[in-house]
Amino acid sequence: ESTFAMLKPDVASDTHTVDEIKQRIAEAGLSIERERVCRLSRRRCGKFYAEHRTRPFYPALLGFMSSGPVVMLELSGESAIGAWRSLIGPTSTETARKEAPRSLRAMYGSDNTRNAAHGSDSPASAAREIRLMFQK
């Protein structure tokens, strides 16, 4: 199975943290098939987060996600979607700290937007996100 993973601007520019996260990915039995570091435009962020367009946090999300570099990864492995989502933990960093203190969001996130990482929630989302973010 493949999934899309993204390290957000709050962690992507810290090479030590990125290396730690890559080590955790390997320890979880996942392989990095593709990797790309870039800075996303607001337009690309808008396409990526289109399902949140009507939500009150949408403008802040676009501003944050286009504020610095991101590390985009295509991961593969046994139950890759679930394995990566388990590794990153709950969306809310507060919840992550209580329920999954060793998760990436608990360790590196600071709030619901600046929560260190993104992970696809289904095979269909993974396919769409991989296509969108790794297109030429």
Q: Is residue 19 part of a domain?
A: yes
Q: Is residue 59 part of a domain?
A: no
Mean pLDDT (the chain) is 96
Q: How many domains does the chain have?
A: 1
What digits encode the pLDDT tens for the residues 35-80?
999 999 999 999 999 999 999 999 999 999 999 999 999 999 999 9
What digits encode the pLDDT tens for the residues 82-124?
999 999 999 999 999 999 999 999 999 999 889 999 999 999 9
Q: Is residue 58 part of a domain?
A: no
What angle do the packed helices 80-88 and 123-134 form, to 10 degrees? 80
| DSSP label of 70 | E
Choosing from 5, 12, 118, 129, which is the catalytic residue? 118
Q: Is residue 13 part of a domain?
A: yes
136 pLDDT exceeds 80?
Answer: no
Q: Is residue 44 part of a domain?
A: no
- The Cα-based distances of 19 to 12, 13, 47, 132 in angstroms read 10, 11, 28, 25
Return phi, psi of residue 79, to 5°.
Answer: 45, 50
Q: Is residue 66 part of a domain?
A: no
Q: Please report the pLDDT score of residue 100 as a whole number.
A: 97
Two tokens, residue 3? 């999934």
Specify whether the CB–CB gap between 22 and 32 falls below 8 A.
yes
Does the annotation place 43 within a ligand binding site?
no
Does the annotation place 85 within a ligand binding site?
yes
Does the annotation place 15 within a ligand binding site?
no
Q: Please report the pLDDT score of residue 112 as a whole number.
A: 87
Question: Could you confirm whether 52 is annotated as catalytic?
Answer: no
The candidate with the shortest Cα–Cα distance to 77, out of 37, 126, 116, 36, is 126
- The Cα-based distances of 35 to 2, 80, 105, 113, 117 in angstroms read 13, 16, 20, 22, 14
Distance CA 129, CA 136 (A): 13
Q: Is residue 78 part of a domain?
A: yes
- For residue 6, the enclosing domain spans 2-39+71-134
Higher pLDDT, 34 or 113: 34
Q: Is residue 10 part of a domain?
A: yes
Domain at 103, CATH number: 3.30.70.141
| pTM (2 d.p.) | 0.94
